Amino acid sequence: MIGGPHPMTPAPYRVRSRRPDRADTVTLTLEPVRGDCPPFRPGQFTMLYAPGVGEIAVSISGRARSGGYTQTIRAVGAVSAALCGKRPGDVVGVRGPYGRGWDVPAAAGLDVVVVAGGLGLAPLRPLVRALLRERPRHGRISVIAGSRAPGLLLYPQDLARWARQGADVRVTVDHPGHTWRGPVGLVTRLLDRIVFEPRRTCAFVCGPEPMMRAAAAELVRRGVAPGRVELSLERNMKCAVTRCGHCQLGPLFVCEDGPVLRYDRAAGLLEVREL
């Protein structure tokens, strides 16, 4: 085709593997039917198309050894449920990667605080992997993960590996049940337990918006510069190429200017509720 395929046309990708993470959440490994997976930066997302159902934005949670993307999807509606139901061998559509990812180079020489709530750990996973690959370039690396219940914690094996690789990994849950002996409550409370030098720290935060607002405000209250706190916004997205306006937030298009935004730019915009 002259000029290449239309930007809205998904490429066919085959499901190579499917790992159930929780009752409503699966991680798919997706490989292009033809050619190689384009490179991605931590924090970027693709548009995943479930044939005959629809298309949603999904963060890239990693690159598999086979070269494919891993993407973690929670079944909350028609499209996400259809994607969660895909099996190895099935074909889905993929556009992207899109968006501005985490500013990994900005973390060089600084302490790093990563704060995740629930599925927010998915776009942070490739970031933590990148930071730990270049461990000597950074100061202390702390990862705080919040989960509704111990059994709902995402990527427990990664969290354990990151701790072995030198990160200070802390987990808190909302509902501890009978067996949990760890911290209970908001992720912000764990900021007391980790060690970081606020004026020499950058932070990466992803999760439900109330959690991101609280975590970012608390980091800034403790002296982290607002320009060194990054958040990933999951606003309604349709075209992902700034044409439809669904994800417009004040002067920004989340699909292109985000989803990762610095807190000094995002703070006021977070007050804008999604319709």
Tell me the site size for ligand FAD, rule CB under 6 A.
19
Q: What is the DSSP string of 113-143?
A: EEEEEGGGHHHHHHHHHHHHHTGGGSS-EEE
Q: Does 56 bind ligand FAD (CB under 6 A)?
A: yes
Q: State yes or no: residue 58 binds ligand FAD (CB under 6 A).
A: yes
Of positions 37, 57, 215, 229, contacts ligand FAD by CB under 6 A: 57
Smallest distance, ligand FAD to C-beta of residue 124, A: 11
DSSP SS3 for 237: coil
In the range 222-241, which residues lie near ligand FAD by CB under 6 A? Answer: 234-235, 237
Please give the backbone phi and psi of residue 190, each rounded to the nearest 5 degrees, phi first. -75, -10
Q: How far apart are CB 160 and ligand FAD at their closest, in Å?
A: 22
What mask, x for binding ligand FAD by CB under 6 A, covers residues 67 to 96? -----xxx-xxxxx----------------
Per rule CB under 6 A, is residue 59 in the interface with ligand FAD?
yes
Residue 238 Cβ vs ligand FAD, minimum distance, rounded to whole Å? 10
Structure token pair of residue 22: 């929780």
146-173 as b/e: b if 16+ CB within 10 A = bbeebebbbbeebbeebeeeebbbbbbb
Q: Could you write out the DSSP letters of every residue in 90-114?
A: -EEEEEEEESB---GGGGTTSEEEE
Min dist CB 192 to ligand FAD, Å, is 28
Contact call for residue 172 and ligand FAD (CB under 6 A): no
CB of residue 125 to ligand FAD, shortest distance in Å? 10
The two tokens of residue 181 are 């002996």
With CB atoms as reference, the residue minimizing the distance to ligand FAD is 77
Q: Does 245 bind ligand FAD (CB under 6 A)?
A: no
Tell me how far apart the alpha carbons of residues 258 and 190 are, in angstroms, rounded to a whole number: 27
- Whole-number minimum distance, CB 44 to ligand FAD, in Å? 9
Q: Using DSSP bridges, classify how beta strands 111-117 and 141-147 pair: parallel, antiparallel or unpaired.
A: parallel
Q: Of 52-60, 88-96, 137-145, 162-170, which segment contacts ligand FAD by CB under 6 A?
A: 52-60
Question: Site residues (CB under 6 A) for ligand FAD?
Answer: 45, 56-59, 72-74, 76-80, 119, 122, 234-235, 237, 259
